[in-house]
Amino acid sequence: MGILRSRTAPDTVLEECFFPSDKVIRTLEPKLIYEFGDMKIYDIGELAAGYAVLQFEEHARNNERAVLRYADELNADGSLQFHYTGGTSRMQRDQFIYDMRAKGRDFHPHFTWHAARYIEVTGICHLTEYRVIQTDLDKISDFSCDNETLQWIFDAYVKTQNANIHGCIPSDCPHRERLGYTGDGQLTCGAVMSVFDARQMYKKWMADIRDCQDKAGGHVQHTAPFYGGGGGPGGWGGAAVIVPYRYYKFYNDKTVLEESYESMKAYLKYMVNHCEDGIVTSEEKGGWCLGDWCPPHNKVTIPEAFVNTYFLAKCAEMTAETAEVLGFEDDKAFYNKLAEDSKNAIIKHYYNEDTASFCNGVQGADAFALDIGLGNETTKRNLIDKYEKLGTFDTGIFGTDLLIRMLFTLDRGDIAYKLLINEEEASFYNMKKHGATTLWENWDGCDSRCHPMFGAVIEYFFSEILGIKRFNDKAGYEEIIIEPAHIPELKNVKGSMKTKWGEIIVEIKTDKNGNRFVNSEITGEITVR
Protein backbone atom coordinates (compact mmCIF):
# COMPACT_ATOMS: atom_id res chain seq x y z
CA MET A 1 0.00 0.00 0.00
CA GLY A 2 1.47 3.36 -1.06
CA ILE A 3 2.24 6.19 1.33
CA LEU A 4 0.00 9.25 1.00
CA ARG A 5 1.90 12.50 0.87
CA SER A 6 0.43 15.97 1.06
CA ARG A 7 0.89 18.32 -1.85
CA THR A 8 0.57 22.08 -1.99
CA ALA A 9 -1.88 23.25 -4.63
CA PRO A 10 -0.40 25.59 -7.25
CA ASP A 11 -1.27 29.26 -7.01
CA THR A 12 -4.22 30.20 -9.17
CA VAL A 13 -5.85 33.44 -10.19
CA LEU A 14 -9.59 33.67 -10.63
CA GLU A 15 -10.41 36.33 -13.20
CA GLU A 16 -13.69 37.59 -14.60
CA CYS A 17 -14.44 36.53 -18.17
CA PHE A 18 -14.43 39.79 -20.13
CA PHE A 19 -15.24 38.54 -23.60
CA PRO A 20 -18.53 37.54 -25.24
CA SER A 21 -19.65 33.91 -25.17
CA ASP A 22 -21.12 31.63 -27.80
CA LYS A 23 -24.89 31.80 -28.20
CA VAL A 24 -27.67 30.50 -30.37
CA ILE A 25 -27.83 33.47 -32.74
CA ARG A 26 -30.64 32.38 -35.05
CA THR A 27 -32.46 29.28 -36.27
CA LEU A 28 -32.83 27.73 -39.71
CA GLU A 29 -35.65 25.55 -40.95
CA PRO A 30 -34.46 22.16 -42.29
CA LYS A 31 -35.98 21.18 -45.63
CA LEU A 32 -36.51 17.47 -46.21
CA ILE A 33 -34.95 16.61 -49.59
CA TYR A 34 -34.72 12.78 -49.42
CA GLU A 35 -36.42 10.01 -47.48
CA PHE A 36 -36.03 6.24 -47.64
CA GLY A 37 -37.45 4.19 -44.78
CA ASP A 38 -36.11 5.54 -41.49
CA MET A 39 -33.37 7.57 -43.22
CA LYS A 40 -33.91 11.22 -44.13
CA ILE A 41 -31.64 13.95 -45.52
CA TYR A 42 -32.28 17.61 -44.78
CA ASP A 43 -30.93 20.81 -46.34
CA ILE A 44 -30.72 23.85 -44.05
CA GLY A 45 -30.08 26.17 -47.01
CA GLU A 46 -26.58 27.34 -46.12
CA LEU A 47 -23.39 26.09 -44.48
CA ALA A 48 -23.54 27.15 -40.82
CA ALA A 49 -22.06 26.21 -37.46
CA GLY A 50 -24.49 24.90 -34.87
CA TYR A 51 -26.51 21.78 -34.27
CA ALA A 52 -29.72 20.10 -35.40
CA VAL A 53 -32.69 19.62 -33.07
CA LEU A 54 -34.78 16.45 -33.41
CA GLN A 55 -37.91 14.94 -31.96
CA PHE A 56 -38.80 11.26 -31.84
CA GLU A 57 -42.07 10.28 -33.44
CA GLU A 58 -45.15 9.41 -31.39
CA HIS A 59 -44.75 5.69 -32.11
CA ALA A 60 -41.03 5.54 -31.21
CA ARG A 61 -40.21 2.83 -28.69
CA ASN A 62 -38.16 3.08 -25.53
CA ASN A 63 -34.37 2.92 -26.20
CA GLU A 64 -34.95 3.73 -29.88
CA ARG A 65 -31.76 5.17 -31.37
CA ALA A 66 -31.38 8.13 -33.68
CA VAL A 67 -28.12 8.90 -35.50
CA LEU A 68 -27.30 12.26 -37.11
CA ARG A 69 -24.44 12.83 -39.56
CA TYR A 70 -23.39 16.24 -40.87
CA ALA A 71 -21.78 17.22 -44.20
CA ASP A 72 -21.05 20.24 -46.41
CA GLU A 73 -21.94 18.64 -49.74
CA LEU A 74 -23.84 15.80 -51.40
CA ASN A 75 -22.55 13.10 -53.73
CA ALA A 76 -24.03 12.75 -57.22
CA ASP A 77 -26.42 10.09 -55.92
CA GLY A 78 -27.72 12.42 -53.19
CA SER A 79 -25.86 10.82 -50.27
CA LEU A 80 -23.69 12.83 -47.90
CA GLN A 81 -20.17 13.72 -49.07
CA PHE A 82 -17.82 13.73 -46.06
CA HIS A 83 -14.54 14.67 -47.76
CA TYR A 84 -14.96 18.43 -47.31
CA THR A 85 -15.61 18.11 -43.58
CA GLY A 86 -12.55 15.94 -42.97
CA GLY A 87 -13.54 12.48 -44.19
CA THR A 88 -15.04 9.62 -42.25
CA SER A 89 -12.21 9.74 -39.68
CA ARG A 90 -13.41 13.19 -38.59
CA MET A 91 -17.10 12.62 -39.09
CA GLN A 92 -19.49 14.85 -37.18
CA ARG A 93 -21.94 12.40 -35.68
CA ASP A 94 -24.54 12.50 -32.90
CA GLN A 95 -26.42 9.57 -31.38
CA PHE A 96 -29.49 9.84 -29.17
CA ILE A 97 -31.31 7.12 -27.20
CA TYR A 98 -34.98 7.68 -26.62
CA ASP A 99 -36.50 7.59 -23.15
CA MET A 100 -40.29 7.47 -23.40
CA ARG A 101 -40.52 9.62 -20.27
CA ALA A 102 -39.12 12.44 -22.46
CA LYS A 103 -41.98 12.20 -24.93
CA GLY A 104 -42.30 15.39 -27.00
CA ARG A 105 -38.93 16.69 -25.84
CA ASP A 106 -36.29 18.25 -28.12
CA PHE A 107 -33.05 16.30 -28.46
CA HIS A 108 -29.75 18.03 -29.33
CA PRO A 109 -26.09 18.18 -28.24
CA HIS A 110 -25.36 20.29 -25.15
CA PHE A 111 -21.58 20.65 -25.13
CA THR A 112 -20.54 20.94 -28.76
CA TRP A 113 -21.53 22.32 -32.13
CA HIS A 114 -21.03 21.10 -35.68
CA ALA A 115 -20.89 22.73 -39.10
CA ALA A 116 -22.80 21.60 -42.14
CA ARG A 117 -25.43 22.32 -44.74
CA TYR A 118 -26.81 18.78 -45.05
CA ILE A 119 -27.87 16.50 -42.21
CA GLU A 120 -28.68 12.81 -42.48
CA VAL A 121 -31.01 11.40 -39.83
CA THR A 122 -31.56 7.69 -39.24
CA GLY A 123 -34.26 6.64 -36.79
CA ILE A 124 -37.92 7.08 -35.99
CA CYS A 125 -37.62 10.84 -35.69
CA HIS A 126 -37.51 14.12 -37.61
CA LEU A 127 -35.62 17.42 -37.44
CA THR A 128 -37.45 20.50 -36.18
CA GLU A 129 -34.80 23.21 -36.54
CA TYR A 130 -31.11 24.01 -36.85
CA ARG A 131 -29.66 26.34 -34.22
CA VAL A 132 -26.84 28.53 -35.48
CA ILE A 133 -24.15 29.02 -32.84
CA GLN A 134 -21.27 31.49 -32.79
CA THR A 135 -19.58 34.02 -30.55
CA ASP A 136 -22.03 36.86 -30.04
CA LEU A 137 -20.28 39.69 -31.94
CA ASP A 138 -22.22 42.72 -33.10
CA LYS A 139 -22.14 43.25 -36.85
CA ILE A 140 -21.21 46.93 -37.31
CA SER A 141 -21.05 47.23 -41.08
CA ASP A 142 -23.05 46.62 -44.20
CA PHE A 143 -22.30 46.61 -47.91
CA SER A 144 -24.50 46.46 -51.00
CA CYS A 145 -23.76 46.93 -54.68
CA ASP A 146 -25.12 46.23 -58.15
CA ASN A 147 -22.61 43.48 -58.99
CA GLU A 148 -23.87 40.03 -58.06
CA THR A 149 -20.45 38.44 -57.56
CA LEU A 150 -19.06 41.28 -55.45
CA GLN A 151 -22.19 41.18 -53.31
CA TRP A 152 -21.86 37.40 -52.96
CA ILE A 153 -18.26 37.79 -51.71
CA PHE A 154 -19.40 40.08 -48.90
CA ASP A 155 -22.39 37.98 -47.90
CA ALA A 156 -20.43 34.71 -48.06
CA TYR A 157 -17.58 36.21 -46.03
CA VAL A 158 -19.96 37.28 -43.25
CA LYS A 159 -21.44 33.75 -43.07
CA THR A 160 -17.97 32.19 -43.20
CA GLN A 161 -16.51 34.37 -40.49
CA ASN A 162 -19.52 33.90 -38.23
CA ALA A 163 -19.13 30.13 -38.55
CA ASN A 164 -15.47 30.50 -37.56
CA ILE A 165 -15.63 32.48 -34.33
CA HIS A 166 -16.26 30.35 -31.25
CA GLY A 167 -15.16 31.15 -27.74
CA CYS A 168 -13.60 34.33 -29.19
CA ILE A 169 -11.18 32.16 -31.18
CA PRO A 170 -11.03 32.88 -34.94
CA SER A 171 -10.71 29.45 -36.53
CA ASP A 172 -9.63 28.25 -39.94
CA CYS A 173 -12.72 26.08 -40.44
CA PRO A 174 -15.54 24.91 -38.19
CA HIS A 175 -15.27 21.17 -38.88
CA ARG A 176 -12.09 19.58 -40.31
CA GLU A 177 -9.67 21.22 -37.86
CA ARG A 178 -11.57 23.99 -36.01
CA LEU A 179 -8.34 25.47 -34.67
CA GLY A 180 -7.37 29.08 -34.04
CA TYR A 181 -4.76 29.23 -36.79
CA THR A 182 -2.54 32.27 -36.32
CA GLY A 183 -2.14 32.60 -40.11
CA ASP A 184 -5.84 32.74 -40.91
CA GLY A 185 -6.49 34.88 -37.85
CA GLN A 186 -3.93 37.58 -38.59
CA LEU A 187 -4.74 37.64 -42.30
CA THR A 188 -8.44 38.31 -41.77
CA CYS A 189 -8.21 40.58 -38.71
CA GLY A 190 -8.66 43.75 -40.79
CA ALA A 191 -11.78 42.31 -42.42
CA VAL A 192 -13.16 41.18 -39.06
CA MET A 193 -12.60 44.59 -37.47
CA SER A 194 -14.22 46.25 -40.49
CA VAL A 195 -17.40 44.16 -40.20
CA PHE A 196 -17.75 43.24 -36.51
CA ASP A 197 -17.18 44.81 -33.11
CA ALA A 198 -14.20 42.60 -32.34
CA ARG A 199 -12.57 44.57 -29.54
CA GLN A 200 -13.10 42.04 -26.75
CA MET A 201 -12.62 39.05 -29.03
CA TYR A 202 -9.15 40.06 -30.17
CA LYS A 203 -8.07 41.07 -26.67
CA LYS A 204 -8.84 37.51 -25.64
CA TRP A 205 -7.15 35.94 -28.65
CA MET A 206 -4.03 38.12 -28.39
CA ALA A 207 -3.70 36.91 -24.81
CA ASP A 208 -3.98 33.33 -26.10
CA ILE A 209 -1.13 33.96 -28.57
CA ARG A 210 1.08 35.43 -25.86
CA ASP A 211 0.28 32.59 -23.46
CA CYS A 212 1.28 29.95 -26.03
CA GLN A 213 4.42 31.67 -27.27
CA ASP A 214 7.67 29.87 -26.47
CA LYS A 215 8.99 31.85 -23.51
CA ALA A 216 12.58 30.80 -24.14
CA GLY A 217 12.94 31.04 -27.91
CA GLY A 218 10.11 33.39 -28.93
CA HIS A 219 8.56 31.00 -31.44
CA VAL A 220 4.87 31.72 -32.13
CA GLN A 221 2.79 28.61 -32.63
CA HIS A 222 0.60 27.94 -35.65
CA THR A 223 -2.59 27.81 -33.58
CA ALA A 224 -3.77 29.51 -30.39
CA PRO A 225 -4.82 28.79 -27.68
CA PHE A 226 -3.74 25.27 -28.66
CA TYR A 227 -0.41 24.11 -30.00
CA GLY A 228 -0.77 22.28 -33.28
CA GLY A 229 -1.33 22.40 -37.01
CA GLY A 230 1.04 23.48 -39.72
CA GLY A 231 2.22 26.85 -40.98
CA GLY A 232 5.27 29.04 -41.17
CA PRO A 233 7.21 31.55 -39.10
CA GLY A 234 6.09 34.60 -41.08
CA GLY A 235 2.46 34.50 -42.16
CA TRP A 236 1.48 32.48 -39.10
CA GLY A 237 3.86 33.59 -36.35
CA GLY A 238 3.56 37.19 -37.50
CA ALA A 239 0.18 37.27 -35.73
CA ALA A 240 2.10 38.20 -32.56
CA VAL A 241 2.91 41.56 -34.19
CA ILE A 242 0.27 42.09 -36.87
CA VAL A 243 -2.88 41.57 -34.78
CA PRO A 244 -2.01 43.99 -31.93
CA TYR A 245 -0.68 46.53 -34.44
CA ARG A 246 -3.83 46.37 -36.60
CA TYR A 247 -5.99 46.45 -33.46
CA TYR A 248 -4.30 49.69 -32.40
CA LYS A 249 -4.82 51.18 -35.86
CA PHE A 250 -8.52 50.37 -35.84
CA TYR A 251 -9.37 51.21 -32.24
CA ASN A 252 -6.63 53.63 -31.07
CA ASP A 253 -6.08 51.53 -27.95
CA LYS A 254 -2.47 51.61 -26.78
CA THR A 255 -3.02 49.06 -24.04
CA VAL A 256 -2.84 46.19 -26.53
CA LEU A 257 0.56 47.43 -27.70
CA GLU A 258 1.76 47.69 -24.11
CA GLU A 259 0.55 44.16 -23.37
CA SER A 260 2.04 42.69 -26.55
CA TYR A 261 5.30 44.62 -26.92
CA GLU A 262 7.61 42.09 -25.23
CA SER A 263 5.97 39.30 -27.23
CA MET A 264 6.54 41.24 -30.46
CA LYS A 265 10.21 41.70 -29.67
CA ALA A 266 10.67 38.04 -28.71
CA TYR A 267 9.07 36.97 -31.99
CA LEU A 268 11.39 39.14 -34.07
CA LYS A 269 14.41 37.81 -32.18
CA TYR A 270 13.24 34.31 -33.06
CA MET A 271 12.94 35.24 -36.73
CA VAL A 272 16.42 36.75 -36.81
CA ASN A 273 17.81 33.59 -35.20
CA HIS A 274 16.37 31.59 -38.11
CA CYS A 275 18.00 33.69 -40.83
CA GLU A 276 20.91 32.94 -43.12
CA ASP A 277 22.44 35.98 -44.79
CA GLY A 278 19.40 38.00 -43.71
CA ILE A 279 16.87 35.56 -45.21
CA VAL A 280 14.45 33.53 -43.04
CA THR A 281 15.22 29.94 -44.02
CA SER A 282 13.80 27.71 -41.28
CA GLU A 283 11.37 27.30 -38.42
CA GLU A 284 11.25 24.74 -35.61
CA LYS A 285 13.18 21.55 -36.23
CA GLY A 286 10.93 18.99 -37.89
CA GLY A 287 8.16 21.54 -38.39
CA TRP A 288 6.69 23.19 -41.44
CA CYS A 289 8.17 26.33 -42.95
CA LEU A 290 5.44 27.54 -45.27
CA GLY A 291 5.51 30.83 -47.13
CA ASP A 292 2.23 31.38 -48.98
CA TRP A 293 -0.55 28.80 -48.99
CA CYS A 294 -3.37 27.58 -51.26
CA PRO A 295 -2.61 29.15 -54.64
CA PRO A 296 -4.42 27.55 -57.61
CA HIS A 297 -4.13 23.75 -57.46
CA ASN A 298 -1.95 24.14 -54.34
CA LYS A 299 1.14 24.66 -56.50
CA VAL A 300 3.28 27.12 -54.54
CA THR A 301 6.05 28.59 -56.69
CA ILE A 302 6.75 31.81 -54.80
CA PRO A 303 9.79 31.02 -52.58
CA GLU A 304 8.98 30.35 -48.92
CA ALA A 305 12.09 32.22 -47.76
CA PHE A 306 11.07 35.31 -49.76
CA VAL A 307 7.60 35.37 -48.18
CA ASN A 308 8.91 34.80 -44.65
CA THR A 309 11.55 37.50 -45.02
CA TYR A 310 8.85 39.88 -46.28
CA PHE A 311 6.98 39.21 -43.02
CA LEU A 312 10.16 39.81 -41.02
CA ALA A 313 10.60 43.22 -42.65
CA LYS A 314 6.90 44.08 -42.32
CA CYS A 315 6.71 43.06 -38.67
CA ALA A 316 9.94 44.93 -37.90
CA GLU A 317 8.36 48.09 -39.37
CA MET A 318 5.25 47.59 -37.27
CA THR A 319 7.33 47.01 -34.14
CA ALA A 320 9.35 50.15 -34.83
CA GLU A 321 6.13 52.16 -35.04
CA THR A 322 4.91 50.47 -31.86
CA ALA A 323 8.15 51.48 -30.11
CA GLU A 324 7.54 55.07 -31.20
CA VAL A 325 3.96 55.04 -29.87
CA LEU A 326 5.21 53.66 -26.54
CA GLY A 327 8.13 56.09 -26.34
CA PHE A 328 11.03 53.65 -26.83
CA GLU A 329 13.15 55.65 -29.26
CA ASP A 330 16.21 53.37 -29.10
CA ASP A 331 14.02 50.38 -29.94
CA LYS A 332 12.46 52.30 -32.80
CA ALA A 333 15.88 52.82 -34.39
CA PHE A 334 16.82 49.18 -33.82
CA TYR A 335 13.72 47.77 -35.50
CA ASN A 336 13.84 50.24 -38.35
CA LYS A 337 17.37 49.02 -39.04
CA LEU A 338 16.20 45.40 -38.87
CA ALA A 339 13.50 46.21 -41.41
CA GLU A 340 16.04 47.83 -43.74
CA ASP A 341 18.49 44.96 -43.36
CA SER A 342 15.72 42.49 -44.22
CA LYS A 343 14.73 44.51 -47.28
CA ASN A 344 18.33 44.66 -48.45
CA ALA A 345 18.57 40.88 -48.09
CA ILE A 346 15.44 40.50 -50.23
CA ILE A 347 16.94 42.75 -52.90
CA LYS A 348 20.20 40.81 -52.83
CA HIS A 349 18.60 37.40 -53.18
CA TYR A 350 15.38 37.97 -55.13
CA TYR A 351 15.55 41.17 -57.18
CA ASN A 352 16.34 41.15 -60.90
CA GLU A 353 17.76 44.54 -61.91
CA ASP A 354 17.17 43.86 -65.60
CA THR A 355 13.42 43.29 -65.20
CA ALA A 356 12.85 45.24 -61.95
CA SER A 357 10.81 42.29 -60.64
CA PHE A 358 11.14 40.07 -57.58
CA CYS A 359 11.08 36.28 -58.04
CA ASN A 360 10.07 36.92 -61.67
CA GLY A 361 6.79 38.37 -60.41
CA VAL A 362 5.42 34.91 -59.68
CA GLN A 363 2.23 34.61 -57.59
CA GLY A 364 2.11 38.26 -56.59
CA ALA A 365 5.78 38.52 -55.57
CA ASP A 366 6.04 42.12 -56.78
CA ALA A 367 3.06 43.04 -54.57
CA PHE A 368 4.92 41.65 -51.53
CA ALA A 369 7.95 43.76 -52.39
CA LEU A 370 6.03 46.94 -53.18
CA ASP A 371 4.13 46.64 -49.90
CA ILE A 372 7.37 47.18 -47.97
CA GLY A 373 8.62 49.98 -50.22
CA LEU A 374 10.86 47.95 -52.51
CA GLY A 375 10.98 48.16 -56.30
CA ASN A 376 10.47 51.15 -58.57
CA GLU A 377 8.07 52.46 -61.20
CA THR A 378 8.91 49.56 -63.49
CA THR A 379 8.08 47.10 -60.71
CA LYS A 380 4.69 48.77 -60.35
CA ARG A 381 4.13 48.62 -64.09
CA ASN A 382 5.13 44.93 -64.12
CA LEU A 383 2.49 44.16 -61.50
CA ILE A 384 -0.21 46.17 -63.27
CA ASP A 385 0.56 44.75 -66.71
CA LYS A 386 0.69 41.16 -65.50
CA TYR A 387 -2.69 41.14 -63.77
CA GLU A 388 -4.40 43.35 -66.34
CA LYS A 389 -3.48 40.71 -68.90
CA LEU A 390 -3.97 37.64 -66.68
CA GLY A 391 -7.38 38.73 -65.42
CA THR A 392 -7.51 36.12 -62.64
CA PHE A 393 -5.69 35.06 -59.49
CA ASP A 394 -2.53 32.98 -59.42
CA THR A 395 -1.97 33.80 -55.74
CA GLY A 396 -2.33 32.10 -52.38
CA ILE A 397 -3.93 33.45 -49.23
CA PHE A 398 -1.34 36.14 -48.48
CA GLY A 399 -0.59 37.01 -52.08
CA THR A 400 -4.27 37.53 -52.91
CA ASP A 401 -4.71 40.01 -50.06
CA LEU A 402 -1.51 41.89 -50.94
CA LEU A 403 -2.26 41.94 -54.67
CA ILE A 404 -5.69 43.52 -54.18
CA ARG A 405 -4.30 45.98 -51.62
CA MET A 406 -1.44 47.03 -53.88
CA LEU A 407 -3.60 47.48 -56.97
CA PHE A 408 -5.82 49.85 -55.00
CA THR A 409 -2.72 51.63 -53.65
CA LEU A 410 -1.48 52.09 -57.23
CA ASP A 411 -4.85 53.64 -58.17
CA ARG A 412 -5.81 50.65 -60.28
CA GLY A 413 -9.03 49.78 -58.55
CA ASP A 414 -10.40 48.85 -61.96
CA ILE A 415 -8.01 45.87 -62.15
CA ALA A 416 -8.61 44.91 -58.52
CA TYR A 417 -12.35 44.92 -59.24
CA LYS A 418 -11.95 42.76 -62.36
CA LEU A 419 -9.91 40.23 -60.38
CA LEU A 420 -12.51 40.12 -57.60
CA ILE A 421 -15.34 39.40 -60.04
CA ASN A 422 -13.40 37.33 -62.61
CA GLU A 423 -15.06 34.09 -63.74
CA GLU A 424 -12.06 31.78 -64.19
CA GLU A 425 -11.41 28.81 -61.93
CA ALA A 426 -9.29 30.86 -59.49
CA SER A 427 -12.13 33.17 -58.55
CA PHE A 428 -14.83 33.88 -56.05
CA TYR A 429 -17.29 33.45 -58.91
CA ASN A 430 -16.20 29.82 -59.19
CA MET A 431 -17.28 29.23 -55.59
CA LYS A 432 -20.56 31.05 -56.18
CA LYS A 433 -21.47 29.17 -59.37
CA HIS A 434 -21.09 25.86 -57.53
CA GLY A 435 -23.76 26.94 -55.06
CA ALA A 436 -21.43 27.82 -52.18
CA THR A 437 -22.80 29.94 -49.37
CA THR A 438 -19.42 30.29 -47.64
CA LEU A 439 -15.85 30.82 -48.86
CA TRP A 440 -13.66 27.86 -49.78
CA GLU A 441 -10.18 26.96 -48.55
CA ASN A 442 -8.96 26.44 -52.12
CA TRP A 443 -9.83 28.15 -55.38
CA ASP A 444 -10.89 24.78 -56.84
CA GLY A 445 -12.81 23.69 -53.73
CA CYS A 446 -10.78 20.54 -53.17
CA ASP A 447 -10.84 20.70 -49.37
CA SER A 448 -12.81 22.70 -46.78
CA ARG A 449 -15.80 24.66 -48.04
CA CYS A 450 -15.80 27.10 -45.07
CA HIS A 451 -12.51 28.98 -44.68
CA PRO A 452 -12.45 32.79 -44.16
CA MET A 453 -8.86 33.47 -45.28
CA PHE A 454 -9.54 34.63 -48.86
CA GLY A 455 -12.14 36.94 -47.31
CA ALA A 456 -9.31 39.20 -46.08
CA VAL A 457 -10.09 41.32 -49.16
CA ILE A 458 -13.36 42.45 -47.51
CA GLU A 459 -11.35 45.11 -45.66
CA TYR A 460 -10.86 46.88 -49.00
CA PHE A 461 -14.61 46.92 -49.68
CA PHE A 462 -14.69 49.59 -46.96
CA SER A 463 -11.29 51.29 -47.17
CA GLU A 464 -11.09 51.39 -50.98
CA ILE A 465 -14.40 50.69 -52.75
CA LEU A 466 -16.33 52.89 -50.30
CA GLY A 467 -13.20 54.93 -49.60
CA ILE A 468 -13.48 55.12 -45.79
CA LYS A 469 -9.90 55.85 -44.76
CA ARG A 470 -8.24 56.98 -41.56
CA PHE A 471 -6.81 60.47 -42.10
CA ASN A 472 -3.01 60.26 -42.50
CA ASP A 473 -3.29 56.63 -41.34
CA LYS A 474 -3.78 57.83 -37.77
CA ALA A 475 -5.03 55.30 -35.24
CA GLY A 476 -8.80 55.18 -34.91
CA TYR A 477 -11.61 56.69 -36.96
CA GLU A 478 -11.94 60.07 -35.26
CA GLU A 479 -10.53 61.75 -38.36
CA ILE A 480 -11.28 60.27 -41.77
CA ILE A 481 -11.34 61.01 -45.46
CA ILE A 482 -13.85 59.65 -47.96
CA GLU A 483 -11.93 58.71 -51.08
CA PRO A 484 -13.55 55.88 -53.11
CA ALA A 485 -11.44 54.05 -55.69
CA HIS A 486 -12.10 54.74 -59.36
CA ILE A 487 -14.02 51.69 -60.63
CA PRO A 488 -15.97 52.70 -63.76
CA GLU A 489 -17.73 49.33 -64.09
CA LEU A 490 -19.19 49.45 -60.58
CA LYS A 491 -22.10 51.84 -60.95
CA ASN A 492 -23.88 51.83 -57.60
CA VAL A 493 -22.61 50.87 -54.17
CA LYS A 494 -23.58 51.69 -50.60
CA GLY A 495 -22.12 50.79 -47.25
CA SER A 496 -21.85 51.75 -43.64
CA MET A 497 -19.46 51.27 -40.74
CA LYS A 498 -20.08 51.95 -37.07
CA THR A 499 -17.09 53.00 -35.00
CA LYS A 500 -16.87 53.96 -31.35
CA TRP A 501 -16.75 57.59 -32.51
CA GLY A 502 -19.86 57.40 -34.69
CA GLU A 503 -21.26 55.90 -37.89
CA ILE A 504 -20.03 56.43 -41.45
CA ILE A 505 -22.41 55.91 -44.39
CA VAL A 506 -21.23 56.20 -47.99
CA GLU A 507 -23.27 55.87 -51.17
CA ILE A 508 -21.90 56.04 -54.71
CA LYS A 509 -24.33 56.45 -57.60
CA THR A 510 -23.82 56.71 -61.34
CA ASP A 511 -26.47 58.36 -63.48
CA LYS A 512 -27.45 57.40 -67.04
CA ASN A 513 -24.91 59.88 -68.43
CA GLY A 514 -22.05 58.25 -66.54
CA ASN A 515 -21.75 60.99 -63.94
CA ARG A 516 -20.63 59.66 -60.56
CA PHE A 517 -21.88 61.06 -57.27
CA VAL A 518 -20.46 60.29 -53.82
CA ASN A 519 -22.68 61.04 -50.84
CA SER A 520 -21.70 60.51 -47.22
CA GLU A 521 -23.39 60.83 -43.86
CA ILE A 522 -21.33 61.06 -40.69
CA THR A 523 -22.64 60.89 -37.13
CA GLY A 524 -21.04 61.32 -33.72
CA GLU A 525 -17.60 62.80 -33.12
CA ILE A 526 -16.02 61.88 -36.45
CA THR A 527 -14.31 64.64 -38.43
CA VAL A 528 -14.09 64.41 -42.22
CA ARG A 529 -10.94 66.01 -43.63
Is the CB of residue 311 less than 8 Å from the CB of residue 234?
yes
| Beta strand spans in 99-204 (E) | 114-122, 125-135, 141-145, 165-166, 169-170
| Residues shown for the chain | 529
Please compute, for residue 58, the number of CA atoms within 13 A of its CA located in the half-sphere on the CB side. 0
> Own/partner pairs for 366-370, CB < 8 Å, 24+ apart?
367/399, 367/402, 367/403, 367/405, 367/406, 367/407, 368/302, 368/306, 368/307, 368/310, 368/398, 368/399, 368/402, 369/310, 370/406, 370/409, 370/410
Give tens-digit pLDDT for 355-370: 999 999 999 999 999 9
Q: What is the DSSP string of 475-495?
A: SSSSEEEE-----TT---EEE
Q: What local confidence, expressed as pLDDT, does residue 2 receive?
A: 59
Q: What local confidence, expressed as pLDDT, does residue 3 receive?
A: 64
Cα distance between residue 367 and residue 21, in whole Å:
38
Give tens-digit pLDDT for 390-409: 999 999 999 999 999 999 99
Per-domain boundaries in the chain? 22-134, 141-433+444-481
- Parallel, antiparallel, or unpaired for β 22-28 and 92-97? unpaired
Q: What local confidence, expressed as pLDDT, does residue 7 receive?
A: 79
Q: What local confidence, expressed as pLDDT, does residue 102 receive?
A: 84
- Looking at domain 141-433+444-481, does it have CATH number 1.50.10.10? yes
> Is the dihedral angle over the CA atoms 427, 429, 432, 438 positive or is it negative?
positive
Is the CB of residue 346 less than 8 Å from the CB of residue 374?
yes
Query: Dihedrals φ, ψ of 357, to 5°?
Result: -115, 160
Q: What local confidence, expressed as pLDDT, does residue 393 receive?
A: 98
Q: What local confidence, expressed as pLDDT, does residue 281 receive?
A: 97
Cα distance between residue 290 and residue 232, in whole Å:
4
Query: What ranges in 196-328 are assigned the alpha helix state H?
Result: 199-212, 239-251, 255-272, 304-326
- Looking at domain 22-134, does it have CATH number 3.40.50.11540? no
How many other CB atoms sit within 10 Å of the CB of residue 503?
15
How many other CB atoms sit within 10 Å of the CB of residue 255?
12
Q: What local confidence, expressed as pLDDT, does residue 189 receive?
A: 98
Q: What local confidence, expressed as pLDDT, does residue 377 receive?
A: 98
Record the pTM: 0.96
Cα distance between residue 426 and residue 445, in whole Å:
10
Q: What local confidence, expressed as pLDDT, does residue 6 receive?
A: 76
The parts of the chain modelled with pLDDT lower than 70 are 1-4
Cα distance between residue 289 and residue 308, in whole Å:
9
Q: What local confidence, expressed as pLDDT, does residue 18 receive?
A: 82
Q: What local confidence, expressed as pLDDT, does residue 8 receive?
A: 83
Q: What local confidence, expressed as pLDDT, does residue 4 receive?
A: 65
Is the CB of residue 204 less than 8 Å from the CB of residue 277?
no
Q: What local confidence, expressed as pLDDT, does residue 300 receive?
A: 98
Q: What local confidence, expressed as pLDDT, does residue 11 receive?
A: 84
